[in-house]
């Protein structure tokens, strides 16, 4: 069925544009005048002012690795994140934990863990797939580098960014 | 050769005319192209303020480049230099498949007409006895129309030579926009000729000095600096300035002014009539395929056209370089400079008005623009001519 769109009957003032043009000019003039005295400006001067404190809890920034409260690397290098990563930004080189190590029971940990931030799309799949809850997307968003090599986060950087994550998995607790 | 002989040679009438004209041209060209740069900056700043932003506020004196600790932002004024430097140093990319000759010709054709218009605009009274008009020609206003309508060729050629659909549509739009506006632009000015009786812009300005600005309904008669000391004379001149003819003529003059102003917006491709550019629909329109200095020429052309258009508005309707009470350049070079300053100040106000309008109004739809030109302004401008004629006939008999 055809829909009849009722065109509103315009008055002469509306038809000849002019009153609304003047109304518009008045509004923009008001804003111009206010901004001239540095009032009402809503933008933020980015590097000096940041919105970091207001980032939401679920914000997906740079992926990082975490250690637990005992200082143990949570990653067991199962490589699930490496396989699921859509842009293939993650490269893991696993290693066996030596016999005399405190965490021998865990058996494996990454020898190298690289995330190419030039490739990362911040999708958060690595965080979701991780069975050990070892990789988290933190709130860092300003990842810069002067070349491709600088954009690769190695294991050291990742742990530095990630820090300690308490609780959650007790799978490798000796007492359990 | 001794200095006396050189001085004598330089003051020969023809030689004097030639070198002063060259000097005026050189200075005016440099000043105007500088003003263009300032206008671009003003455009960015004003648009930012209107939209509650800060605008460019970082580029100032780069102290860190020469070993300083901190840059001096200087309210972003350095942007005026940074923008042209960026455009100059970019690669001038010419896409494959363009018509090279016309592709290179088009930017020059856009830039040239507005600069030519400056030749006939009286930007001051006189300085050391030299008239502050580059060319005082009798066909002044006609010259402006003839030259400004040429800039549409540059845009159309750019659209066609780019061998790309969006620039092409932009070029086509520009030409039909020109047809719908040029008519009312020309017709709107005819009442001014009828009132002033001349096409010479200098004489139109002189008429306005004597009889008051064309947009004013009332003007004190023979108002001067000395009268301020004699209240009786002042009162007399204030009363004598009132005349029925002036009040009646004010109506067609205002109509002319509004039509001329709007047509100048269309002529200079400014919003709300920037259909050839229309970046949201046409990816930048006629200059989509241009880069570097070729693009900058279009940019310069647009702003120079704004300047020339504002200059025309000021000279024809707003009394040119004159202000009430302020004497002209024959009373001393200081007043000559004041007159030049007045002209540039008036032009700046119109430029700011253009920027203000741009960031207020949305773009007209294509058919709305044609309708406004053909069914709105064209009949009104025609009617306006007859109205002026009737008023003049009634008053003078």
Nearest-CB residue to B49 (from A24, A25, A35): A35
Instruction: Select from A90, A80, A84 the least CA-distant residue to A120.
Output: A90
* Closest-CA distance of chain A to residue B265, Å: 15
Of B53, B54, B360, the CB nearest to A28: B360
As a whole number of angstroms, the distance between CA B285 and CA B172 comes to: 10
For B132-153, what is each residue's pLDDT tens digit? 788 888 888 888 888 888 888 8
pLDDT tier at A93 (50, 70, 90 boundaries)?
very high
pLDDT tens-digit readout, B151-185: 888 888 888 888 888 888 888 888 888 888 888 88
Q: Does domain A53-162 have CATH number 3.30.70.3270?
A: yes
What pLDDT shows up at residue B1? 62
Whether the pLDDT of residue B245 is over 90: the answer is no
Query: Is the pLDDT confidence value at A175 over 70?
Result: no
pLDDT at residue number B223 = 65
CB contact under 8 Å between A25 and B51, yes or no, is: no
**Domain total of chain B:** 1
Query: What's residue A88's pLDDT?
Result: 92
Distance CA B223, CA B59 (A): 47
What value of ipTM does the predicted structure carry?
Answer: 0.76
Task: Answer yes or no: do A21 and B356 touch at CB < 8 A.
Answer: no
Q: How confident is the model at residue A168 (pLDDT cuts 50, 70, 90)?
A: low
Q: Does residue B235 or residue A168 have the better pLDDT?
A: B235
Sign of the CA dihedral with B175 first, then B177, B179, and B181 last? negative
pLDDT in tens, B197-227: 888 888 888 888 877 787 777 777 666 666 6
Q: What is the full DSSP assignment across B148-164?
A: HTTHHHHHHHHHHHTTS
- Bridge partners of A115? A90, A153
| pLDDT for B284 | 74
Residue B334's pLDDT band, with cuts at 50, 70 and 90, is confident
Mean pLDDT of B55-84: 79
Q: Which residues of B touch A45 (CB under 8 A)?
A: 54
Residue B239 pLDDT: 72
Per-residue pLDDT, A121: 92
In A, minimum Cα distance to B56 occurs at A45
The residue of B355, B358, B360 whose CB has the most chain A CBs within 10 angstroms, and thus the best one to mutate to test that interface, is B360
Cis-peptide into B115, omega within 30 deg: no
Strand duo A108-116 + A135-137: pairing: unpaired
- Asked, for residue B234, whether it belongs to a domain, the answer is yes
Quick one: pLDDT at residue B84? 84
Give residue B197's domain range. 98-396
Which of B48, B50, B361 lies nearest to residue A21, judging by beta carbons?
Answer: B361
* Residue B235 CA to its chain's centroid (Å): 36
On whether the CB atoms of residues B388 and B194 are closer than 8 A, the answer is yes
Closest residue by Cα to residue B209 from B345, B315, B337: B315
Question: Which chain A residues contact residue B361 at CB under 8 A?
Answer: 21, 24
Is there a domain that residue B92 lies in? no
CA–CA distance, B381 with B226 (Å, rounded to integer): 41
pLDDT of residue A26: 92
Contacts of B347 (CB under 8 A, 6+ apart): B307, B310, B311, B314
Once rounded to an integer, what is the mean pLDDT over residues B360-367? 84
Of the candidates B328, B394, B378, B348, which has an alpha carbon nearest to the alpha carbon of residue B41? B348
pLDDT surpasses 60 at A125: yes
A176: pLDDT strictly greater than 60: no
- What number of helices (H) and strands (E) belong to chain A? 5, 5
Q: Is the pLDDT of residue A161 over 80?
A: yes
Q: Which residues, at least 6 apart from B390, have a Cβ–Cβ distance to it below 8 Å?
A: none
Q: Does some domain include residue B80?
A: no
* Averaged confidence pLDDT in chain A: 86
Percent of chain B with pLDDT over 90: 1
Segment B2-30 mean pLDDT: 82
Is the pLDDT confidence value at A86 over 90?
yes
């Amino acid at each position: 069925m055809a829909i009849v769109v009722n065109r509103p009957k315009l008055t002469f003032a509306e038809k000849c544009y002019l009153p609304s043009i003047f109304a518009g000019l008045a509004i923009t003039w008001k804003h111009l005048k206010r901004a001239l005295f540095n009032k009402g400006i809503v933008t933020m001067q980015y590097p000096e002012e940041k919105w970091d404190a207001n980032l939401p809890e679920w914000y997906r920034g740079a992926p990082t690795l975490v250690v637990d409260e005992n200082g143990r690397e949570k990653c067991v290098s199962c490589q699930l994140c490496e396989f699921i990563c859509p842009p293939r930004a993650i490269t893991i080189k696993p290693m066996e934990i030596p016999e005399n190590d405190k965490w021998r029971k865990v058996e494996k940990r990454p020898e190298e863990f690289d995330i190419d931030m030039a490739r990362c799309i911040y999708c958060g799949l690595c965080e979701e797939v991780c069975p050990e809850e070892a990789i988290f997307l933190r709130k860092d968003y300003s990842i810069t580098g002067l070349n491709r090599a600088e954009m690769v986060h190695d294991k050291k950087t990742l742990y530095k960014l990630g820090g300690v994550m308490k609780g959650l998995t007790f799978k490798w607790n000796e007492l359990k | 050769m001794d200095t006396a002989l050189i001085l004598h040679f330089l003051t020969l009438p023809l030689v004097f005319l030639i070198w002063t004209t060259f000097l005026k041209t050189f200075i005016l060209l440099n000043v105007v192209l500088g003003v263009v740069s300032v206008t671009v900056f003003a455009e960015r700043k004003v648009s930012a303020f209107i939209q509650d932003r800060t605008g460019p506020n970082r580029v100032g004196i780069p102290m860190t480049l020469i070993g300083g600790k901190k840059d001096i932002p200087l309210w972003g004024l350095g942007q005026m230099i940074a923008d042209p430097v960026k455009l100059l140093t970019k690669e001038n990319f010419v896409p494959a498949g363009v018509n090279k000759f016309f592709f290179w010709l088009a930017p020059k054709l856009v830039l040239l007409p507005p600069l030519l218009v400056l030749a006939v605009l009286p930007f001051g009274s006189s300085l050391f006895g030299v008239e502050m008009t580059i060319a005082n020609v009798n066909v002044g206003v006609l010259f402006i129309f003839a030259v400004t309508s040429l800039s549409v060729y540059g845009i159309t050629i750019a659209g066609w030579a780019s061998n790309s659909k969006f620039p092409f549509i932009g070029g086509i739009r520009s030409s039909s926009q020109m047809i719908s506006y040029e008519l009312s632009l020309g017709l709107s000015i005819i009442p001014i000729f009828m009132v002033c009786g001349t096409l010479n812009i200098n004489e139109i300005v002189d008429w306005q000095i004597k009889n008051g600005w064309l947009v004013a309904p009332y003007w004190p008669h023979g108002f001067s600096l000395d009268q301020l000391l004699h209240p009786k004379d002042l009162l007399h001149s204030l009363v004598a300035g009132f005349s029925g003819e002036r009040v009646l003529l004010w109506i067609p003059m205002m109509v002319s002014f509004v039509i001329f102003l709007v047509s100048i917006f269309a002529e200079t491709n400014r919003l709300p009539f920037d259909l050839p550019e229309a970046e949201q629909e046409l990816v930048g329109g006629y200059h989509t395929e241009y880069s570097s200095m070729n693009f900058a020429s279009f940019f310069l052309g647009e702003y120079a056209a704004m300047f020339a258009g504002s200059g025309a508005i000021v000279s024809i309707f707003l009394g040119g370089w004159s202000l009430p009470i302020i004497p002209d350049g024959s009373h001393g070079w200081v007043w000559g400079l004041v007159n030049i300053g007045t002209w540039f100040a008036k032009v700046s106000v119109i430029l700011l008005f253009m920027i203000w309008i741009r960031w207020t109004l949305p773009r007209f739809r294509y058919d709305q623009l044609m309708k406004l030109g053909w069914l709105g302004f064209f009949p009104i401008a025609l009617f306006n001519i007859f109205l002026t004629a009737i008023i003049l006939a009634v008053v003078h008999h």
